[in-house]
Structure 1
Amino acid sequence: MKWHHSLSRAYWLWIRVKRYPQYARRLGADPPVLDQLDLAMDLLWPFARRVFLMHRVDELPYGVIAIAVDVDVATVERCVADALWSVRMVRREFE
């Protein structure tokens, strides 16, 4: 992972933990699933969001994404894992 990606990821993880309760309260007690997914995507650092959408929406394999964004495959895997963790965290909050 390139140093600036690592720094950016650490910053966004810190922001996500700090701002998550504030964002979750805005959604109310029983928000629709799409609103929950929007929140999960908003809590991701922009690079991870881009990689996750390339993987899920464009259905690109990790290797192709890594070449397209000029990182190694491990960074792509970490970004997808961050996105899935964000979705799981938000979904558990409202179950």
Structure 2
Amino acid sequence: MHIIHLIGLLVTILYGVFLIISVRRMEVQIEPWILGINIAVGAMMILSFVQIWLGVAALVLVLPVALINGQLVFQNINWPNFAIRTVISLVLIWALLIH
């Protein structure tokens, strides 16, 4: 396994764990469907070690989920933070697809 691929896989799994932990911390403040979407995307990231396409799909889905979180939970979208998430997602997708 290529080292960049392995690092991308580990960071994607950690990103999924972070997503689930952060949404569980504020679970009383958000609607159940938003909680479910965040947990589903985080679980897909964690399961990327089973099938790489789950991680790639989750990294694509995390961008609209971030927009939903920003708009509906925090009532504003932090565009610099979203731009950083987009770049990180693209780099991780690239790292996952390297063999």
TM-score of the aligned structures, taking structure 1 as reference length: 0.33
Higher helix share: 2
